[in-house]
Amino acid sequence: MHLRAEDGDTWTVRERDFPTNRGGLCQKGWTAAELLAHPDRLRSPLVRDRKHDPLRPATWDTALDRVVAAIGRTQKSYGKDAVGVFGGGSLTNEKAYLLGKFARVALGTSRIDYNGRFCMSSAATASIKAFGLDRGLPFPLADIAHAETILLVGSNLAETMPPVMQYFVEQKRRGGTLIVVDPRATLTSASATLHLQITPGTDGALANGLLHIAIQEGYIDAAFIAARTTDFDAARQVASSYWPARVERITGIRNATCIARPNSWERPPPR
């Protein structure tokens, strides 16, 4: 995106026609400039004189002296690793490198982490095992629009990644089927061809149930599985115990025999 300076402290955001987002921005992008002149924006460090005193503005020298003194006292009493550094997923590669160097060289600590430890590490591990990539998609976003059927599990792209949603809208416009699995009613599920509103935490049971049907109905590509996967027999054994009636009880989605009539895949009435 582009930032344009107007009169005084006023800034405006202008979208950029980039191949991925095609000129689209999310709410965070459109409102980014509002932070620059917001009256609540911090413009100097804030410190407390005593533990329960209110925060007051201070100079950078005063604030940094306090930080240095606190780090020194802590490491002197408890060792170098008593001080840790916590980064963020929004840091550039250059800033992440400098932060790591600061932790190792300046502080001498081995304790450094960032906010993606829990939200992205597991996803990256799964992506490496499934696609050989640790981040992103193993295909161009433009391919989404040409897919016949898409199964989107637990994702609300219309709100979390709005610029990407245009590819799913185009996929439906081309006659494709968009199936959204989510216990929530979201903007994404509202635009789906089929919304499977499962019981929270039962995604795995649904996946095993779909694999069970694929095996039973002969939908699997045996040659592909033999050439590109390992331990499929173990997966087959697990899926064998997820017959449609059991999956219905676990997930709250109607019996898988309704797969011939997709619009019938809805929550059964209360018993």
What DSSP string describes 187-248?
HHHHT-SEEE-PPTT-HHHHHHHHHHHHHHTT-S-HHHHHHH-S-HHHHHHHHTT--HHHHH
Question: Could you tell me which residue, 235 or 117, shows the higher pLDDT?
Answer: 235
pLDDT bucket at 266, cuts 50 / 70 / 90 = very low
How many domains, the chain?
3
Q: Which two tokens stand for residue 191?
A: 């635009």
pLDDT at 104: 96
Q: Which residues pair with 217 in a beta bridge?
A: none
Q: Do 94 and 146 have their domain in common?
A: no
Residues 6+ apart with CB under 8 A from 198: 181, 182, 183, 206, 251, 252, 253
Average pLDDT, rounded, for the chain:
88
The domain in which residue 133 lies consists of: 79-138
pLDDT bucket at 197, cuts 50 / 70 / 90 = very high
pLDDT bucket at 132, cuts 50 / 70 / 90 = confident
Within a domain: 66: no
Quote the CA–CA distance of 148 and 138 in Å, as a whole number.
17
**Residue 147 CB neighbour total at 10 angstroms:** 16
Are 75 and 81 in contact, with CB atoms under 8 Å apart? no
Q: Do 84 and 199 have their domain in common?
A: no
Q: Which residues pair with 46 in a beta bridge?
A: 57
> How much is the average pLDDT of 141-150?
94
Within a domain: 67: no
Q: Do 181 and 236 have their domain in common?
A: yes
Quote the CA–CA distance of 193 and 18 in Å, as a whole number.
29
Within a domain: 60: no
